[in-house]
Structure 1
Amino acid sequence: MNSLVFLILIILSSPLQGERDLVIVRQKVLVSGTTSLGKFNCDYTKVGSFDTLKVNSTKAGHSLSFQIPIRDFSCGNFILNSDFRSTLKADVYPFAEVKVNNLRQKSGKIYCHLFLDLAGKSLEFPDFILEKHKDGLAGNLCLDFVALGLSPPKKLGGLIKVEDQLDLQLLLGM
């Protein structure tokens, strides 16, 4: 019994719950949605920059911030790329910005404060969940065009429509 209590105390006081560093070497953003013809995926990946995020830090100022040129999103072909850029008003808002800070671990999950600036709209998610994956941390967010101040695109007089919901996945690779 004493050894069981001792083991529980060791587990609870392990450095997993204390402050620790995560070295981020890759940022990926995947935007997916559905049209009346099927699904689409547009992604952006930035590799090679190194940033360190602190988990459970009591000090302020530890954040990861990166800008995404809207023109660098790849949707699979030039028509979808053009439609995506047009929908996000890339000529007026050429960059999206993602900022992640205040990482904290609770109950096996990592929570953060996520700021997203997209198409001229600033959105804030104070308890965004990042889950551990083999490649790093990943979180999912459902947005709609109204929240972004945009209207879903239509083509061919409304025969081809994009559903109002967009799924955004953020991957921070370690």
Structure 2
Amino acid sequence: MRLLALLALLLFSSGIQERKELVITQQKIQVSGYTSVGKFNCDFSRAGMADTLRINSTEVRKGLEFKIPVKSFSCGNFLLNSDFRSTLKADDYPFAYVKVANFREKSGKIFCHLSLNLVGRKLEFPDLMLERNPKGLNGKLILNFDLLHLTPPSKFGGLVKVEDQLDLEILLGA
């Protein structure tokens, strides 16, 4: 009888969560912004890696860490690439660091802890929601230039201005 009660307790306990794994073979970071003349996208992607992502794991793990050379972001043409690198002070801060850890599933949605180190500023997002898609998991953030202690760039005497908001999308591909 005690064994049956213990088994029932284990099966129906809310603290027990299914452990899931996902093998990550690709990472992609995309930064999008808006100017007075249109939208721009700058991205970085890396394929061929292999790391196992554990969801609802009780193991202490350092998470997935990515060291991204700022000069490796591609914005579509050399002028945009140069402006993007200049805005992110690539000469002073040549790398962006992204760390995702503590993956957990709540009510069918996946959350993680995201640490972002960009232009010498470390930002923490303890409950970033990730969406499942056929390519893996992706998460979206909205950042402002002032959060990074940056000034939105402008060109041609202020005729072309970049809006204060940047959209950051992270894709962990399987």
Shared fold, TM over 0.5 = yes
Task: Answer with 115-124 or 55-64: which moved more.
Answer: 55-64
Mapped to 1, the partners of 2:32 and 2:112 lie a distance apart of 22
Letter in 1 for 2:157: G
Offset at 1:147? Answer: 0.5
Q: Give the 3-state SS of the residue equivalent to 1:75 in structure 2.
A: coil
Give the letter for the 1:150 counterpart. L
| Alignment of structure 1 residues 55-70 onto 2, 5 Å | 55-70=55-70
Q: 1:141/1:166 Cα in 2 relative to 1: closer, same or farther (>3 Å)?
A: same
Tell me the distance in 2 between the aligned counterparts of 1:155 and 1:58: 50
- Deviation of the 1:18 alpha carbon: 1.0
Aligned residue in 2 for 1:88: 88
Gaps of 5+ in 1: 1-11
Q: Which runs of 4+ in 1 moved over 6 A?
A: none
Contact residue 115 and residue 123 of structure 1 kept, 8 A: yes
Name 2:173's counterpart in structure 1. Answer: 173
Tell me the distance in 2 between the aligned counterparts of 1:26 and 1:92: 27
The alignment status of 1:24 with 2:6, answered yes or no, reads no
**Maintained 8 Å contact 1:28/1:46:** yes
Alpha-carbon distance, 1:19 to partner: 1.3
The answer for the alignment partner of 1:132 in structure 2 is: 132
Q: What is the count of residue pairs matched by the alignment? A: 160
The DSSP-based 3-state class of the residue aligned with 1:28 is: strand
Letter in 2 for 1:85: R
Shift of 1:62: 4.5
**Partner letter of residue 44 of structure 1?**
F
After TM superposition, give the deviation of residue 61 of structure 1 in Å: 1.3
Contact 1:53 1:62 in 2 (8 A): no
- Matching residue of 1:6: none
- With structure 1 as the length reference, what TM-score do the two structures score? 0.90
In 2, are the aligned partners of 1:66 and 1:97 still within 8 Å (CA)? yes
- Report the secondary structure of 2:34's partner residue: strand
CA deviation vs aligned residue, 1:49-102 (integer Å, no higher than 9, x gap): 111111001111151001110010000000000000000000000000100000
Would the aligned equivalents of 1:24 and 1:52 in 2 still touch at CA under 8 Å? yes
Alignment root-mean-square deviation, CA: 1.2
Name the aligned partner's letter for residue 131 of structure 2: E
Amino acid at match of 2:63: S
| Residue deviations 1:31-56 (CA, integer Å, cap 9, x gap) | 00100010000000010111111100
Task: Decide whether the 8 Å contact of 1:96 with 1:116 is kept in 2.
Answer: yes
CA distance in 2, matches of 1:18, 1:63: 19
Partner of 2:100: 100
Distance 2:52 2:150 in 1: 34
Q: 5+ residue gaps in structure 2?
A: 1-11
Residue-by-residue CA offset, 1:96-141 (whole Å, 9 max, x unaligned): 0100000000111100000000111100000000110110000000
Take 2:168 and 2:20, find their aligned partners in 1: how far apart are those partners? 27
Q: Distance in 1 between matches of 2:87 and 2:75?
A: 13
